[in-house]
Structure 1
Amino acid sequence: MYYIFHGDDEFTRSEAVAELKAKLGDPAVADINTTVLDGRNVTLSELIHACDSIPFMGNRRLVIVENMLQRFDPRKGGRSETDDQLLDALKSYLPQLPESTRLVFVESKSLHGNNPILKLAQRDDQAYVREFEVPRHGAVGRWITRRVKEKGGTIQSGAVMLLTLYGGEDLRLLDQEIEKLLTFAGDRAITEADVRRLVPAAVESNIFAMVDALGQRDRRQAVTRLHELLEAGESPIYLLFMITRQFRILTQVKELAGQGLQLPAIQSRLGLHRYVVEKALGQARNFSLGQLNVIYRKILETDEAIKTGQLEPELALDMLVAELVM
């Protein structure tokens, strides 16, 4: 049997993969019987070898292929000859998949509706397709409430709103904060005061979201995120500091990635948490190194304008965000 898990909700998607792995039984044996392949450059022979291998001390093998099917999405100019050959071979192989193997295609974004493997799976009794979309806007609050309930707790509506503001749409971060809040609250409901007391650092998540919006030249989203942070009581000086810090990290990560360093090496070199480096690597793709240097200079100019009294802090931030998305 094979699975297609696609969409931008990395957290819930990862949970679904973890559930499949848990069904393999003993964690030590599960690790031995699990293979993860990079679908961007895997060959069919490598995939078949992994799938056709006999399970060790168990009845099932799990083969996870990351971001392979995106290669078959319709695109301008058509697919490459290599991808076309791979597509045809994969379509021929899937019906021969051993009963002992669970093959999971994990895609970091939603596949096009006309993706040939997606269409094949949708009419195949031996396939399972699930799309994972990050909940947007009000749906995030409902996700928080449901998640708290699943963990045996309750949360006040005001706390949900505040946690949504702090955590944005980052479900992994929200889940971590929910765990912390439930431990602190004990048998009572989570309150706004709990969120304000325990999740002040979660403002970085909205900084990430604002930087993402800046990188995509999405002025509306960037300005919205900025004003949500200001309305939540964050100091303009602190927000400018955080924006400065984030773009400094992006510049450093961009430079090190350009030198060929991989995530673990960059993490070690900069002394940052893996999560921060992962997010920064993704955001850095939206900028050239030259653009990052120009942005960093504009941030420093804004800082100088605030410190010398040339501009009010909130106005200076508004002008900075507007300038960065032009």
Structure 2
Amino acid sequence: MIILLYGEDTYRLRQKLKEIVSGYKSKHQSGLSFARFDEKNFDFSEVKNIIEAVSMFSEKKLIILENVVKEKDFQKDFFEYAKKNKIKNNQDIIAVLFQEGKLAASVLKKKVNMFEEFLPLKGTGLTNWIKKEVSKNGGVIDSGAVNELSFRVGGDLWQMSNEIGKLVGYKKNNPITKEDVVLMVKSEADLNIFAAIDALAARNKKDALRLLHQHLNQGVNENYLFSMFVYQIRNLLKIKDLMEKGTPFPLLAAKSGLHPFVARKTAQQAANFSLDQLQTIYRRLLEIETKTKTGRAGILTALDLFVVEI
């Protein structure tokens, strides 16, 4: 039997491989019929020796060939050998071809018994995965926190897994909220929202558009992106208004109701705008929100026009 596992989502790819190996070892505990090769120690002659050797305990053989599918001549040599020795029809041999990253697999799929591609998760697929992973870790999470995590981390499930473990440990038996995620999860998305707004302040419309679309290309929901944009402008308005009223810097967080870290970052950015500018931007965003809710405009088109016109 030949199994092909490949894809860019290396976290789920590795988890699948781990599942196969664990399942095998639970049934065949001697480990004498298990072999694993990667691009550093791959030797095809040794692979053939293992396949052809007589198993002492009549165990199935599991052979993992890791990240060698793209190696020169591998596909030609392996599949010629597999065809000659009828490995595809041999239920006592399991050969797993494991390849991280993109792979031109249309031809390979016809030569294996089973295949699975692991593409980066986004949208509903990503949020469903987050919910399951939190539950698996013994935690509870509300929908706002799920969306916030999805926005901040995106499809990097290695980081997502670490962040979920951290949040579950922090909240123990209490539900994870959006505020917890904002507090504990550092995000490139945050930086890009800040950067997009900085670009607006500098009248650099090209950069502002690029940064906004960068999130959309990564699968972030456009409605959620818009809500984050509104959220940050609203925070800027709060802080700028307090600053112009002479509120001491140490009191900005308490007066605005923002976390001290968020208040500090927002105050730094507020220096790039006048209060009138922020009020104009905020009014324009509210107009966009009204138009999109009544179906008179799509959020993405309206946001693009907003950046161009501001």
TM-score by length of structure 2 reads 0.53
For residue 87 of structure 2, what is the aligned residue in structure 1? 95
Aligned to 1:10: 10
Residue 183 (structure 1) shift: 2.1
Q: Tell me the equivalent position of 2:289.
A: none
Name the amino acid aligned to 1:174: M
Residues 24 and 85 (structure 1 numbering): CA distance in 2 closer, same or farther, change over 3 Å?
closer
> Is the counterpart of residue 182 in structure 1 residue 168 in structure 2?
yes
* Equivalences for residues 138-217 of structure 1 within 5 A: 138-200=124-186, 202-203=187-188
Whether the 8 Å CA contact 2:87–2:93 is kept in 1: the answer is: no
Letter in 2 for 1:195: V
Matched, 1:120 2:105: no
Amino acid at match of 1:191: T
3-state SS in 1 of match to 2:152:
helix
1:82–1:181 CA distance, 2 compared to 1 (3 A): closer
* Aligned-partner residue type, residue 119 of structure 1: K
| 1:38-87 CA-partner distances (Å, limit 9, x unpaired) | 3599453232123345668793443111233346xxxxxxxx77864554
Kept after mapping to 1: 8 A contact 2:2/2:88 = no
Aligned with 1:112: secondary structure? coil
Cα offset for 1:104? Answer: 0.7
Which residue identity lines up with residue 64 of structure 2 in the other structure? I
**Residue 96 to residue 197, structure 1, CA distance change in 2 (3 Å):** closer
The answer to whether the 8 A contact 1:38-1:67 is kept is: yes
Distance apart, 1:147 and its partner CA: 2.1
Q: Secondary structure at the match of 1:3?
A: strand
Runs of 5+ unmatched residues, structure 1: 72-79, 122-126, 208-218, 234-311, 314-326
- Give the secondary-structure state (helix, strand or coil) at the position aligned to 1:24: helix
Equivalent in the alignment of 2:239 = none
Residue 107 of structure 1, aligned match among 99, 124, 141 = 99
> Identity of counterpart residues, as a percentage?
21
Which is further off, 92-101 or 44-53?
92-101
2:164 is paired with a residue whose SS is: helix
Residue equivalent to 2:214: 224
Contact 1:52 1:98 in 2 (8 A): no
How far apart are the structure 2 equivalents of 1:45 and 1:109? Answer: 26
Q: CA 1:100 to 1:88, structure 2 compared with 1: closer, same or farther past 3 Å?
A: closer
Q: Secondary structure at the match of 2:37?
A: strand
> Unaligned 5+ residue runs, structure 2?
193-208, 233-271, 274-310
Deviation at 1:164, TM superposition (A): 1.5
Aligned to 1:49: 49
**Secondary structure class of the residue paired with 1:63:** strand
Q: Is the 8 A contact 1:62 1:101 kept in 2?
A: yes
Aligned-pair CA distance for 1:169? 0.9
Shift of 1:138: 4.3
**Number of residue pairs aligned between Structure 1 and Structure 2:** 210
3-state SS, counterpart of residue 134 of structure 1: coil
What is the Cα-based RMSD across aligned positions, in Å? 4.2
Give the structure 2 partner of residue 69 of structure 1.
69
- Determine helix, strand or coil for the equivalent of 2:24: coil
Question: 1:82, 1:58 → 2: CA distance?
Answer: 28
* Larger Rg over CA atoms: 2
- Distance change (3 Å), C-alpha of 1:90 and 1:57: closer
Q: Which amino acid aligns with 2:148?
A: L
CA contact (8 A) 2:62 2:93 kept: yes
C-alpha separation in 2, matches of 1:205 and 1:60: 50
Contact 2:35 2:62 in 1 (8 A): yes
- State the Cα distance separating 1:8 from its structure 2 match: 1.3
CA distance in 2, matches of 1:143, 1:11: 12
Matches within 5 A, 1:259-278: none
Residue type at the aligned position of 1:25: K
Task: Please report the TM-score for the alignment, with normalisation by the length of structure 1.
Answer: 0.51
Contact 2:37 2:65 in 1 (8 A): yes
Kindly indicate whether the alpha-carbon contact (under 8 Å) linking 2:11 and 2:157 is maintained by their aligned counterparts in 1.
yes
Letter in 1 for 2:109: L
